[in-house]
Amino acid sequence: MYTTQIWLIRHGETDWNAAQRLQGWRDIPLNDTGKNQAKSVQRFLDQQRIAFDGVLSSDLQRAIQTAQIAFAQHQYPIEQIPALRERNYGIYEGHPWQSLTQLPNEPAPKINLRDPNLDVPEGESLLTFHQRIIEAFNQIALQRPNQKLAVIAHGGVIEMVWRYIQQADLSTPRPYKIVNASVNHFAINQEQQWQEIAWAQVAHLDHLKD
């Protein structure tokens, strides 16, 4: 039986992250903070001395730039996979996310993007996004048995993986924040069983708070 190990890394910060605007498929580059976060990922992974078999990335530039910086000292080609993109928020991209998401102890917004079945004009529902991400990682594991892979993607991608591993309902509030440049380690075996190994690793970013 094979097991594919995946280190799933969120891209560094962009100006839209800082402004708390929905990015989705909008191709927003890293800001200076995001570039420094990516360098911190590089140091973290180098300290772990992981012999990766490959580096994969969403095809959006904030993920690609993070991968390029984090692996600048290595010779890994970065394979871009469109299926690892953030959720497509359609007409709502660029809007403040707080105005479109049901928050604890807050009045329900007119549009709640946390509704799994909500059809987003020119975008995708949360359920469709979830299915896309799970299928993408199962395919990655099938094509790369027994490999150790770094995957640079997005906060929504990390959330969908976490929910699948924990069997958490899509509408259940998430109990933790997904930090830019956080590192998450999980595995998928031959039976497409997923296992969390180390989640929401952020200590490598502490020095950036000073």
The set of catalytic residues is 11, 86
Question: Strand, coil or helix: what is 10?
Answer: strand
Q: What CA–CA distance (Å, rounded) separates 46 from 153? A: 19
Q: What CA–CA distance (Å, rounded) separates 169 from 148? A: 29
Question: Strand, coil or helix: what is 172?
Answer: coil
Query: What are the beta bridge partners of residue 78?
Result: 55
Q: What CA–CA distance (Å, rounded) separates 183 from 178? A: 10
Cβ-proximal residues to 190 (8 Å cutoff; 6+ apart), any chain: 1, 2, 3, 145
Consecutive H or E run containing 199: strand 194-201
CA separation (Å) from 53 to 10, 50, 70, 84, 147? 19, 9, 15, 18, 6
